[in-house]
C-alpha cells in the first residue's frame, strides 16, 4: 500500500485515538505516535517529525489543542482539528491558527479521509503559490477602488496572490462588505478574465429550480421544458462561476454541487451524457460556515472544497480610515452619473460619516451618498440624515455580543420598519438593503421574521 505520510495524533481519549489509528493505518497512513497532552506532543514532534498532526482541542494539562495549533502554525507544520467542542468562541479561536481542516466528533470514516484529501490539496496549493507562476498580462495587475471597495492591504494582497491560480476561493464577511466586488477583482486578474464570470445568487434559487438553473435540462425533461436549457455551470465554462450566499443552499443542493465540483462535469436534467466543464469557483457567504458545519447545516466536505483559499472581508466600522476615500469616490461616481452639481462633502458632514457604525457596510455608505447627491440643492453636502448611533452594533446592553443571525435580523427589521413593511419595489426594504427581493424574502423566512409592519 502506498505510504501517504506520517501522522501524529494528539488526543486524550484512548478509544478515540485508537479508532483513529486503525482507520489511518488501514488507509495507508503511518501513525508515528499518540500524545494525550501538548507536553507529550512536543516531544513526539521533535522525535518523529510528522507530516501531519491531528489535534483534539480539549486536552489534559495546562495547554489546549489551540495552544499547540499556534505553535504548529509558527513552525509551518500542517495540522487539523478533531473536536466535539463547537461553540462559536472556540471555533473563532481555532480559525486564527489557520488549520488545514476541522472535523467534528462524532464523525464517519469517510469524513476523515475527505478532510485529509482536501487538506493535502490545500497544502499543495499553498506550496504552488510560493513558486513563480505564469505572468499576468501587462497592465492587468492593478486594483482600483471600483474593483474592491477599498479593502485592506492584506485583502488586496490575497486577491493578487490567488487570482492567477485556479484555486477555489471562499469570501466571507458581513452583508455589504463588497464580496462580489472582491470576486470580480479575482476574475479580472485571472487568466480567465476574457471569459465570462457568471453570478449565481444561491439565496434566490427556489429549491425546485436549483438543478435546472445550475446544471440545465434537455428538451422534454419535464412539463414545460420546451427546449434545451444550458445551466449556469456550462455558461461559465472556461471562465468563473461566483456562488453568492452559498450558505443558503439546501442540503440536497449542497450534495448536487459537491458532485459537480468533484467530477468536474454536469448532467442536464433529462439527459444521460455528462458534460465536462472547466470552471473556476468563487463562493461567498455572510454566515460562519464553520458553525454551520458544526451544527449540521452545511456539509463538511463541500466546505473544504470551497474554502481552499479563504478571504475574510473586514466590516467598514473596523476600517473607518477608508470612509473619506470611499465617500469621495461615490460622490464623484453619482455626481457624474446624474449630472449633478455637487462638488464636495463638508468637513462636518464627513465627521458624521466617521462617527457612524455602518451596520450595512460599504453598500449602506454608497446608497447614502447616492441619495444625498440626488437630494442636494447646492454644491456641498453639509449634513447627512443618519440613524442615531449611540449603541455599538451587535452589543446588547448587558454586554453580550450578538450572533451574526441576530445582527442580520435586527438590520432587516430596521429596513422593514423604515419601508413600513414593503419588501420589493421602489422604497422597499430590499432596495434599501441592496438585495434582490427574492433573497430578502428567503432571509426573512430563515430568520423567522413576521411581516406585521403598518
Angle, CA of 219, 221 and 222, to the nearest 5° = 115
Which grid coordinates belong to 276?
A: 465536462
Residue 60 binned pLDDT confidence (cut-offs 50, 70, 90)? confident
Query: pLDDT tens digit string along 124-138?
Result: 766 665 543 444 343
Q: Which secondary-structure segment (H or E) carries 33? A: strand 30-35
Mean pLDDT computed over 324-352: 90
| Contact status, residue 422 vs residue 429, Cβ threshold 8 Å | yes
**Residue 165 to residues 1, 128, 262, 276: CA-CA distances in angstroms?**
32, 9, 18, 20
User: Alpha-carbon dihedral of residues 390, 392, 398, 404, nearest 10 degrees?
Assistant: 140
The average confidence (pLDDT) of the chain is: 82
Longest dimension (CA), the chain: 78
Average pLDDT, integer, range 61-90: 86
Question: How many other CB atoms sit within 10 Å of the CB of residue 1?
Answer: 8
pLDDT in tens, 208-254: 777 888 888 888 777 777 788 888 999 999 999 999 999 988 888 88
Strands 169-172 and 280-285, by their bridges, are parallel
Global pTM value: 0.64
pLDDT for 391 beyond 50 = no
What is the distance between the alpha carbons of residues 348 and 233, in angstroms, rounded to a whole number? 49
pLDDT at position 67: 93
Q: What is the DSSP letter of 264?
A: T
Average pLDDT over residues 42-58: 93
pLDDT of residue 158: 83
Burial class (CB in 10 A: 0-12, 13-18, 19+), 310: middle
Arithmetic mean of pLDDT, 149-174: 81
Residue pLDDT, tens place only, 257-291? 888 888 889 888 888 888 899 999 999 998 888 77
What average pLDDT does range 102-113 have in this prediction?
77
pLDDT score recorded for residue 431: 80
- Running DSSP on this structure, what letter comes out for residue 137? P
Long-range contacts of 197-201 (CB under 8 A, 24+ apart): 197/236, 197/239, 197/240, 197/241, 197/242, 198/232, 198/235, 198/236, 198/239, 198/240, 198/241, 198/242, 199/242, 199/244, 200/232, 200/241, 200/242, 200/243, 200/244, 201/244, 201/245, 201/436, 201/438, 201/439
Quickly tell me which residue has 507562476 as its cell: 133
Rounded-to-integer distance, Cα 295 and Cα 85, Å: 11
Which phi and psi angles does 269 have, rounded to 5°?
-60, 130
| Res. 34 pLDDT band, cuts 50 70 90 | very high
Q: How far is CA 196 from CA 22, 233, 265, in A?
A: 47, 11, 18
- Cα gap 213→207, rounded to integer Å: 10
| Half-sphere exposure in the Cβ direction for 354 (13 Å, CA) | 12
- Does residue 405 surpass a pLDDT of 70? yes
The per-residue pLDDT for 65 is 92
Amino acid at each position: 500500500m502506498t505510504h501517504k505520510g506520517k501522522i501524529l495524533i494528539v488526543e486524550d481519549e484512548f478509544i478515540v485515538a485508537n479508532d483513529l489509528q486503525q482507520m489511518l493505518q488501514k488507509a495507508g497512513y503511518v501513525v508515528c505516535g499518540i500524545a494525550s497532552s501538548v507536553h507529550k506532543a512536543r516531544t513526539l514532534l521533535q522525535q518523529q517529525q510528522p507530516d501531519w498532526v491531528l489535534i483534539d482541542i480539549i486536552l489534559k494539562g495546562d495547554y489546549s489543542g489551540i495552544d499547540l495549533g499556534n505553535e504548529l502554525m509558527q513552525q509551518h507544520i500542517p495540522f487539523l482539528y478533531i473536536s466535539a467542542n463547537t461553540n462559536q468562541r472556540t471555533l473563532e479561536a481555532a480559525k486564527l491558527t489557520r488549520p488545514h481542516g476541522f472535523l467534528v466528533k462524532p464523525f464517519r470514516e469517510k469524513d476523515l479521509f475527505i478532510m485529509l484529501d482536501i487538506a493535502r490539496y490545500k497544502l499543495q496549493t499553498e506550496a504552488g503559490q510560493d513558486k513563480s507562476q505564469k505572468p499576468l498580462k501587462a497592465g492587468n495587475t492593478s486594483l482600483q477602488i471600483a474593483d474592491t471597495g477599498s479593502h485592506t492591504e492584506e485583502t488586496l494582497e490575497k486577491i493578487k496572490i490567488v487570482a492567477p491560480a485556479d484555486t477555489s476561493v471562499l469570501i466571507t464577511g458581513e452583508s455589504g462588505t463588497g464580496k462580489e466586488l472582491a470576486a470580480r477583482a479575482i476574475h479580472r486578474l485571472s487568466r480567465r478574465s476574457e471569459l465570462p464570470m457568471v453570478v449565481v445568487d444561491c439565496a434566490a434559487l427556489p429549491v425546485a429550480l436549483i438543478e435546472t438553473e445550475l446544471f440545465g435540462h434537455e428538451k422534454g425533461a419535464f412539463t414545460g421544458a420546451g427546449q434545451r436549457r444550458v445551466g449556469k455551470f456550462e455558461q461559465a465554462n472556461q471562465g468563473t462561476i461566483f456562488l453568492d450566499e452559498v450558505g443558503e443552499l439546501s442540503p440536497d443542493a449542497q450534495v448536487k454541487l459537491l458532485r459537480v465540483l468533484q467530477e468536474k462535469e454536469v448532467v442536464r436534467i433529462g439527459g444521460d451524457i455528462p458534460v465536462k466543464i472547466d470552471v473556476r469557483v468563487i463562493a461567498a457567504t455572510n454566515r460562519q460556515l464553520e458553525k454551520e458545519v458544526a451544527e449540521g447545516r452545511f456539509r463538511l466536505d463541500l466546505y473544504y472544497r470551497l474554502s481552499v483559499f479563504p478571504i475574510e472581508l473586514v466590516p467598514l466600522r473596523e476600517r473607518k480610515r477608508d470612509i473619506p476615500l470611499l465617500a469621495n469616490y461615490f460622490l464623484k461616481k453619482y455626481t457624474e452619473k446624474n449630472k449633478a452639481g455637487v462638488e464636495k462633502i463638508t468637513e462636518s458632514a464627513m465627521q458624521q460619516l466617521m462617527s457612524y457604525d455602518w451596520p450595512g457596510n460599504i453598500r449602506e455608505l454608497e446608497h447614502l451618498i447616492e441619495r444625498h447627491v440626488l437630494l442636494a440643492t447646492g454644491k456641498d453636502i453639509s449634513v447627512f440624515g443618519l440613524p442615531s448611533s449611540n449603541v455599538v452594533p451587535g452589543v446588547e446592553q448587558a454586554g453580550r455580543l450578538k450572533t451574526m443571525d441576530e445582527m442580520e435580523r435586527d438590520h432587516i427589521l430596521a429596513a422593514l420598519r423604515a419601508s413600513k413593511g414593503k419588501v420589493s419595489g421602489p422604497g422597499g426594504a430590499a432596495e434599501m438593503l441592496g438585495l434582490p427581493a427574492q433573497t430578502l424574502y428567503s432571509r426573512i423566512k430563515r430568520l423567522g421574521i413576521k411581516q406585521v409592519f403598518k
